Structure 1
Amino acid sequence: MKKETAAQRIERIKIEKDGLAVLEDIKQYAASNTEIDPEDIDRFKWYGLYTQNKNLQADTDNTLYFMLRIKLEHGSMNTPQMRCISQISREFAQDTADFTTRQDIQLHFIKVVDLPEIFKRLNNVGLSTVFAAGDVPRNVATCPVSGIEEKEIFDTTSLANEINDYLRGNHELVNLPRKYKIGISGCHKHCIGHEIQDLSFTAVKIDGEVLFAVTVGGGLGSNKKIALHLGYIFKEQVLDTVKTITIIYRDYGLRDSRRKARLGHLIDEWGLEKFKAFTEEKLGFAFIEKPIQEYMPYARREHFGIHKSTIVGKSYVGCAVNGGTIGSYGLNNLADILEKYNASTIKVTNTQNFIILDVPHENTEKLAKALLDINIEANPSPFKARTISCTGINFCKFAVSETKYQATWLASYLEQRFPDFDEHVSISLNGCPNSCAHPHVVDIGLMGAKVKDEEGNSVAGFELILGGNLEGEVSNFGFKTAIKILPKYLNRTVERIIEQYINSGQNGLHRFLKENIENENFIESLREVWRET
């Protein structure tokens, strides 16, 4: 009998058992402590669980550990929820906790035997892991300052709530061709990155009227595409459009290959015009045709610092965390600080940072100072602000390189080397080619790869990608330089890039990189770092 392909296997196991039905199996495995069926392990993803790499596991430890992703709708987490996750991390996850680029939080070293208790505690504070992973709609990306930012185009909070209510644990959407990412934002900085969502709605004001630009088919990894513009709709049409396009994707998405199963691949197969016409037919209305708007460059899409809120007497405070790593003690200490200064809630951003939403005006400076004691900054350097990293080899089975420590070390090194640098710069460290940390859309992307060391041995390192950017219709993916870097030379290589930019006298790092990615002298100067060290 012919061996199943990866796609055939996944499609079969999704048909044989509803992914949400695996919860009962989890409970049984926890109670019996028996070996887990490998196909159930795949279904565990529907509850936010992935098996993790054994890189930090002792040779004598044969425990099957999981990463657990907790879904934070709107990226929101209040102080009781912080304390709950902190305690779970301390008791069951070896103090681990990381913010993600999907505005979630994830833990490591989770054992199946502990899952019923973990799920119970999360449920008690209004949190869930359902649909945090798997072939389902993932967390809806939203602007973390929706409803409180003075310059926002439109408060999309209620629209996001409607979308979440439709998607949340929806049994009709339990078997999509692959993961499916939706975003909605009225942010004037366009911070959710609509260009790389499967489906996104971006508020714009045209001739004094608020409309939503609908874009489809974006993604990274095997679906590396900039989303395509379908047209505009009114706010009352957003939910129907979500429902219609989601069902089209469910029913017509390509399932023969895992690498060709995202919404963007269906649009490639059909062509944009056919997809648009089919969607309009199902919707019963046509997309509005207006000129495509301009958007904020990727590196400037941030909300750091202290800002006056639209809520009387309140400010919001945008904070940076090293590589998204917060840990159990960081969460608990953060909750302490919020309660001390009469704040209650944070929202995680898609750059692994967070916003404190509701700080009384008179407490903002004292709160910001207290945050420094736990290594969280309200006025971060450009390097700490926008250096993001994926899970890396310590926990991810796909990664070839360590990222979390390397990212923190790099940001600290650049802060010391360029203390007066005050321009926006985006940096990503990704442990493998799957693009979880978005290395193709940042100024300086570092993607995990095998590298030859000085003795000719193949070891973990990074490939350098330069000049990526998200900016609507003029977005571009970064240029692969073919430069591969040993981790010990990484800081100096990035330093050389910043040095040459400063010495060039040009205005704008992104422009400098785009103009020099084919400059042989520039590229060779980066290769020379090895020989000089």
Structure 2
Amino acid sequence: MTTSQTTPRPAARPPRPSTKPNGQWKIDGTAPLNGNEEWKQVDDGLAVRERIENIYAAGGFSSIDPTDLHGRFRVWGLYTQRKPGIDGGRTATLSPEELEDAYFMLRVRIDGGQLTTEQLRVIAGISQEFGRDTADLTDRQNVQLHWVEVESMPEIWRRLEAVGLGTTEACGDVPRVVLGSPVAGISADELIDPTPQIDEITSRFIGDPTLSNLPRKFKSAITGHPNQDVVHEINDVAFVAVEHPELGIGYDLWVGGGLSTTPRLGERLGVFVSPDRVAEAWHGVAQIFRDYGYRRLRNKARLKFLLAEWGTEKFRQVLQDEYLGYTLPDGPAPAKPAAPGDHVGIHRQKDGRFYVGATPIVGRVSGTTLARLADLIEEHGSTRLRTTPHQKVVILDIPEDRVDSLVAGLDELGLQARPSLIRRGTIACTGIEFCKLAIVETKVNATAAVKDLEERLAGFDLPHPISLHVNGCPNSCARIQTADIGLKGQLVTIDGEQVPGYQVHLGGGLASQDRDEAGLGRTVRGLKVAADGIADYVDRVVRRFLDERDAAADETFAQWAHRAEEEALQ
């Protein structure tokens, strides 16, 4: 299809002018207006690594300064994980100190999702030796480990950095991992390989102390693939490949996307960015966020709130006049994707070999599985793989006569290249098992629901993948507002009893998910699902969709969910 993708309508109104300073450095000055901003100015998060290696690793968890523990550690990919046995009803009533265990979640940063089997084997070994064999593929292309002790961090960093990996700025108020097309450089369909642009951004700016104190997290994405496979609409800054009628192949620049409790889709600035200027444009947007972003209130400290106040015209003008020093040419919008952007299945590469996209259930794997995956890939003549923004893994460079053997081996590891549409479309956040913010379990509940639904819906011919996103709290790490069925964890009252459950969002989606236009899901007043009732609800609403959809128009679940009566969605 060649119809232009229109800019989605913003989901939030511009904020009312504040009578108090917003903590915008270029307007209000740099004096900190809250405790969080204070400690960030006292000592940069990048500086804490030396203390971790030389003091805390020797002294253990009890020796860690509280401000380092709850603030600066994040810059190095470390969050304290939730103490087992604390139910979700106590999440909002206990302090972080009461909720946390003496162990860490550790995010291994994987820009562009690009890995070698050697790197994968190192991650697997760290998981097995230091993380109780835990490993999750995240929807930010990272690998997340658990049960990590501070005493182990010097050795973990040594092993990661020996193979070109790290955890620098994997979390915190910094530029986090740069999402990239999982099939960069190998897809026969891509317009441009974004790897050089990702490499330039990360080599120049990750670990740069001039960008290590942003108002909050800063998320980036770049793709050269027409299926728009990096969920660009929900990143602070994103570059989507387009072909300019006069200037050739380059990128369309989007800014201001983000979900959480105030979701807002990013918007096009309407400019064309040539490949050699992507890093400069990225840096300009990051500096705008640093200098003009709101810092007084943490819940307003994302770029989306600044964009809502400024609008795209002013944002573009400030970017050009104050940070670039030149005018960016007008550019075209990207065309609507012709296929889903998760790359699941078997696909021919531009060199004649194949790449295979495989689906674990909700991103949950293990160190043992990752080690076996590295062996399997090498046994089939390859040393390269990619992680994806959809909690999937893509194996590259497989000869045609080895594809079937690889697919069989992946199946044995629980990584399906031909999954059901329910398994393919389901993702889940960390949940109450490890996360201090969670109210409800996610991975276990979603896994049980997928297996149940595969049996219940086995006889039905679903016309499209059904995306089911399960989140343990309102913060939307699993992108609940952009799923066909998004479940937000909370305590719900069912039959007069308060139980763990989910609020339901329906009909959301992004350009890469069979949507005519990216959009946020709708909520139905009073529609709640118990934590153990996911399969019952999804079964019921999907059957209703199949009964009522306009098959002649190839109506998607999202389209139906937005037009259906509330009764049909119960």
Match of 1:397 among 405, 417, 436: 436
Corresponding residue number in structure 2 for 1:356: 395
Q: Structure 1 residue 439 and structure 2 residue 480: aligned?
A: yes
- SS class of match (1:210): strand
1:268-283 correspondence to structure 2 within 5 Å: 268-281=308-321, 282-283=323-324
Corresponding residue number in structure 2 for 1:295: 336
Corresponding residue number in structure 2 for 1:334: 373
Q: Structure 1 residue 427 and structure 2 residue 468: aligned?
A: yes
Deviation of 1:360 after TM superposition, in Å, equals: 1.8
Deviation of 1:115 after TM superposition, in Å, equals: 1.2
Distance 1:85 1:290 in 2: 41
Distance 2:117 2:517 in 1: 40
Deviation of 1:7 after TM superposition, in Å, equals: 6.7
Match of 2:251 among 212, 221, 233: 212
The one-letter amino acid paired with 2:369 is G
- SS class of match (2:63): coil
After superposition, the C-alpha distances for 1:116-140 in whole angstroms (9 at most, x for unaligned) are: 1111111122210111001100100
Q: Structure 1 residue 71 and structure 2 residue 104: aligned?
A: no
Match of 1:500 among 534, 540, 544: 544
Q: CA, structure 1 residues 223+170, in 2 after alignment: closer, same or farther (shift >3 Å)? A: farther
Q: Contact 1:309–1:316 (CA<8 Å) still a contact in 2?
A: yes
Corresponding residue number in structure 2 for 1:48: 77
Q: Contact 2:182–2:386 (CA<8 Å) still a contact in 1?
A: yes
Deviation of 1:57 after TM superposition, in Å, equals: 8.7
Deviation of 1:10 after TM superposition, in Å, equals: 1.2
Corresponding residue number in structure 1 for 2:535: 491
Q: Contact 1:223–1:260 (CA<8 Å) still a contact in 2?
A: no
Q: Contact 2:238–2:254 (CA<8 Å) still a contact in 1?
A: yes
Distance 2:105 2:557 in 1: 36
Corresponding residue number in structure 2 for 1:529: none
After superposition, the C-alpha distances for 1:240-267 in whole angstroms (9 at most, x for unaligned) are: 1112121121122111111111112122
Deviation of 1:295 after TM superposition, in Å, equals: 2.6
Corresponding residue number in structure 2 for 1:145: 183
Deviation of 1:422 after TM superposition, in Å, equals: 4.9
Corresponding residue number in structure 1 for 2:56: 29
Q: Contact 1:79–1:345 (CA<8 Å) still a contact in 2?
A: yes
Deviation of 1:445 after TM superposition, in Å, equals: 0.4
Corresponding residue number in structure 2 for 1:39: 67
TM-score (norm 1): 0.92
More deviation in 28-37 or 213-222?
Answer: 28-37
Aligned-pair RMSD on alpha carbons?
2.1
More deviation in 33-42 or 331-340?
Answer: 33-42
Distance 1:293 1:183 in 2: 15
Q: Structure 1 residue 15 and structure 2 residue 45: aligned?
A: no
- SS class of match (2:474): coil
Corresponding residue number in structure 2 for 1:258: 298
The one-letter amino acid paired with 2:568 is F
- SS class of match (1:332): helix
Deviation of 1:317 after TM superposition, in Å, equals: 0.6
Corresponding residue number in structure 2 for 1:530: none
Match of 1:458 among 477, 481, 498: 498
Q: Contact 1:230–1:287 (CA<8 Å) still a contact in 2?
A: no
Corresponding residue number in structure 2 for 1:184: 222
Deviation of 1:291 after TM superposition, in Å, equals: 4.6
Q: CA, structure 1 residues 57+450, in 2 after alignment: closer, same or farther (shift >3 Å)? A: closer
The one-letter amino acid paired with 1:15 is Q
Q: Contact 1:304–1:318 (CA<8 Å) still a contact in 2?
A: yes
Quick one: percent identity of the two aligned structures?
37
1:117-132 correspondence to structure 2 within 5 Å: 117-132=155-170
Distance 2:311 2:100 in 1: 49
Corresponding residue number in structure 2 for 1:475: 518
Q: Contact 1:223–1:265 (CA<8 Å) still a contact in 2?
A: no
The one-letter amino acid paired with 1:397 is K
The one-letter amino acid paired with 1:32 is G
Q: Structure 1 residue 91 and structure 2 residue 160: aligned?
A: no
Deviation of 1:206 after TM superposition, in Å, equals: 3.8
After superposition, the C-alpha distances for 1:455-492 in whole angstroms (9 at most, x for unaligned) are: x3322111111000223993211111231111222211
Q: Contact 1:223–1:262 (CA<8 Å) still a contact in 2?
A: no
1:228-239 correspondence to structure 2 within 5 Å: 228-231=267-270, 232-239=272-279
Q: Contact 1:347–1:354 (CA<8 Å) still a contact in 2?
A: yes
Distance 1:479 1:333 in 2: 41
Specify every segment of 5 or more residues in structure 2 that has no aligned partner in the other structure, as ranges: 1-22, 24-31, 88-98
After superposition, the C-alpha distances for 1:174-207 in whole angstroms (9 at most, x for unaligned) are: 1111100111111110011111110111111243
- SS class of match (1:14): helix
Corresponding residue number in structure 1 for 2:283: 243
Deviation of 1:452 after TM superposition, in Å, equals: 1.7
Moved over 6 A (4+): none
- SS class of match (1:64): strand
Distance 1:36 1:292 in 2: 49
- SS class of match (2:356): strand
Q: CA, structure 1 residues 473+322, in 2 after alignment: closer, same or farther (shift >3 Å)? A: closer
Deviation of 1:55 after TM superposition, in Å, equals: 2.5
Deviation of 1:223 after TM superposition, in Å, equals: 4.8
After superposition, the C-alpha distances for 1:115-172 in whole angstroms (9 at most, x for unaligned) are: 1111111112221011100110010011100111111121111111111212221121
Q: Contact 1:400–1:432 (CA<8 Å) still a contact in 2?
A: yes
Q: Structure 1 residue 409 and structure 2 residue 457: aligned?
A: no
After superposition, the C-alpha distances for 1:52-111 in whole angstroms (9 at most, x for unaligned) are: 1113699xx995111000001211222222221112111211111001111000011111
Q: Contact 2:445–2:532 (CA<8 Å) still a contact in 1?
A: no
Deviation of 1:285 after TM superposition, in Å, equals: 2.4
Q: CA, structure 1 residues 460+295, in 2 after alignment: closer, same or farther (shift >3 Å)? A: same
Distance 2:148 2:464 in 1: 40
Distance 2:345 2:254 in 1: 30
Q: Contact 1:382–1:422 (CA<8 Å) still a contact in 2?
A: no
Q: CA, structure 1 residues 118+7, in 2 after alignment: closer, same or farther (shift >3 Å)? A: farther
Specify every segment of 5 or more residues in structure 1 that has no aligned partner in the other structure, as ranges: 527-533
Distance 1:355 1:293 in 2: 24
Q: Contact 1:323–1:408 (CA<8 Å) still a contact in 2?
A: yes
Distance 2:434 2:100 in 1: 15
Q: Structure 1 residue 324 and structure 2 residue 363: aligned?
A: yes
Q: Relative contact order (alpha carbons < 8 A, sep ≥ 6): 1 or 2 greater?
A: 2
- SS class of match (2:417): coil
Q: Contact 2:524–2:566 (CA<8 Å) still a contact in 1?
A: no
Corresponding residue number in structure 1 for 2:14: none
The one-letter amino acid paired with 2:57 is A
Q: Contact 2:307–2:315 (CA<8 Å) still a contact in 1?
A: yes
Deviation of 1:339 after TM superposition, in Å, equals: 1.6
Q: CA, structure 1 residues 211+121, in 2 after alignment: closer, same or farther (shift >3 Å)? A: closer
More deviation in 99-108 or 155-164?
Answer: 155-164
The one-letter amino acid paired with 1:484 is K
Distance 2:349 2:413 in 1: 24
Q: Contact 2:431–2:472 (CA<8 Å) still a contact in 1?
A: yes
More deviation in 106-115 or 132-141?
Answer: 106-115
After superposition, the C-alpha distances for 1:197-233 in whole angstroms (9 at most, x for unaligned) are: 1011111124373231111111111452111111222
After superposition, the C-alpha distances for 1:6-46 in whole angstroms (9 at most, x for unaligned) are: 97111111111110110122121111224322101111001
TM-score (norm 2): 0.86
Match of 1:311 among 330, 351, 355: 351
